[in-house]
Amino acid sequence: MLFDKLIAKRVAAFESEILQKHYEEVENMYAKMRGWRHDYRHHIQTMKVHAANGEYEEISRYLDMLDDDLTNLETVIKTGNRMADAILNSKLSVATKNGITVKAETKIPVALSVSEIDLCIIIGNLLDNAIDACMELPVEKRLIRIYMEMKGNFLYLALTNTSGGKKKKSFRSTKGEGHGFGISRMDAVVKKYGGYITRASEDEAFSTEVLLPQ
């Protein structure tokens, strides 16, 4: 019992550290975006001066510079909630690097009753499991779909990913000791808020739906 509490405490500390790192990254990204918008008029004025002087090569170089700057600021997903943005974009950058196609439709409130740590646990573990499943497939079959919105007084999250093999009867991990921890953590968080979680397995696809009261 004492050992379990110690492990839970260490896991919570680790999750808090990772969460803070993601949050700082997104805050930095948003600060850069605000700065770019502030300078927008200056960029336009600069290009007008080049155009008036017939300096079209200068305009082209300037546009290339702005394009590179915007590319560095581009976010994969913008939900409206910064913490959700932090964990989603962090995980999805991993998915992209591994050749996984991601399709997302997300819109949630700025403020949620779910704590940032618990939101990180649910979204992070869902995406970790989805990425692991996709990695067992050839690149052309790797796909993750994410949908998040408010349904009345509930935060609704649905995630579907392609997977190898036939329909599963059990949703516990078969990868060895320790790999089922994420599923139990998600279940515990959903239960804590009096929410609902359902899982469905079909041939070559796996989906999870979560409802959390707000």
**Residue 6, token pair as written in the block:** 């110690």
When pLDDT is cut at 50, 70 and 90, the band that residue 137 belongs to is: very high
Helix (H, G, I), strand (E, B) or coil at 103: strand
Tracing tokens 């998040």 back to the chain, one arrives at 148
- Tens digits of residue pLDDT in 175-206: 444 445 678 888 989 999 999 999 998 888 99
Q: Is the pTM of this model over 0.75?
A: no
- Tens digits of residue pLDDT in 149-179: 999 899 999 999 998 765 555 445 444 444 4
**For a pLDDT cut of 70, what percent of the chain falls above it?**
69
Single out the residue of 18, 146, 36 nearest to residue 86, CA to CA. 18
Is residue 104 within 8 Å of 95, Cβ to Cβ? no
E-strand stretches of the chain = 101-106, 143-151, 154-162, 196-202, 205-213
